[in-house]
Chain A
Amino acid sequence: MTAKRTMTLNLTDAEMRVLDDLSARKDITKTAVLRQALRLYQTIDARVERGEKLLFENDTTKEKAELMLL
Chain B
Amino acid sequence: MTVEVSKVYLLDVATGEGVEAELRDAIEQAQIDDWAKHWIPVVLAAIQDLVARQVPRADWPQSLHWNWPKKITRVQGMLAFPGFSVVAQGVTQGLAQLDLTRGCQEPGQKGKPLVYVEYLEVAPWNRSELGATPRLRGVGTVLLTAAIALSYEEGFKGRIGLHSLPQADAFYRRIGMTDLGPDPACQNLRYFEMTVEQARAFFEKEEGR
Question: By the criterion CB–CB under 8 Å, are B80 and A2 in contact?
Answer: no
Which residues of A in the span 17-51 have a Cβ within 8 Å of any Cβ on B? 25-29, 31-32, 35-36, 38-40, 42-43, 46
B100 proximity list for chain A (CB < 8 A): 36, 39
Question: By the criterion CB–CB under 8 Å, are B155 and A28 in contact?
Answer: yes
Among B4, B81, B101, B113, contact of A28 (Cβ-Cβ < 8 Å): B113
A2 proximity list for chain B (CB < 8 A): 4, 25, 153
A27-B112 CB under 8 A given contacts A32-B156, A42-B79: yes
* Distance in angstroms between the alpha carbons of A25 and B80 in the assembled complex: 20
* Distance in angstroms between the alpha carbons of A50 and B149 in the assembled complex: 32
Shortest C-beta distance, B162 to chain A (Å), equals 19
Question: By the criterion CB–CB under 8 Å, are B79 and A26 in contact?
Answer: no
Among A28, A43, A46, contact of B156 (Cβ-Cβ < 8 Å): A28
Most buried by A among B81, B101, B154, B155: B155
Among B79, B109, B156, contact of A38 (Cβ-Cβ < 8 Å): B79
* Distance in angstroms between the alpha carbons of A40 and B81 in the assembled complex: 10
Q: Does B78 sit at the interface, judged by CB under 8 A?
A: yes
Among B79, B111, B153, B156, contact of A1 (Cβ-Cβ < 8 Å): B153
Question: By the criterion CB–CB under 8 Å, are B153 and A43 in contact?
Answer: no
Question: Main secondary structure on chain A at its contact with chain B?
Answer: helix
Question: By the criterion CB–CB under 8 Å, are B101 and A39 in contact?
Answer: yes
Q: Does B24 sit at the interface, judged by CB under 8 A?
A: no
Q: Does B137 sit at the interface, judged by CB under 8 A?
A: no
Of chain A, the residue at the smallest CB distance from B79 is A39
Most buried by B among A29, A35, A36: A36
Question: By the criterion CB–CB under 8 Å, are B111 and A40 in contact?
Answer: no
Shortest C-beta distance, A52 to chain B (Å), equals 13
A40 proximity list for chain B (CB < 8 A): 80, 101
Q: List 22 A-B contacts (CB under 8 A).
A: A1-B153, A2-B4, A25-B111, A27-B112, A27-B157, A28-B112, A28-B156, A28-B157, A29-B155, A32-B156, A35-B154, A36-B113, A39-B78, A39-B79, A40-B101, A42-B79, A42-B80, A43-B78, A43-B79, A43-B80, A43-B101, A46-B78
Give B residues with C-beta under 8 Å from A: 4, 25, 78-81, 100-101, 109, 111-113, 153-157
With contacts A29-B155, A43-B78, A43-B81 known, what are 15 further pairs, Cβ within 8 A? A2-B4, A2-B25, A2-B153, A26-B112, A26-B113, A28-B156, A31-B155, A32-B113, A32-B154, A35-B79, A35-B154, A38-B79, A39-B79, A43-B79, A43-B80
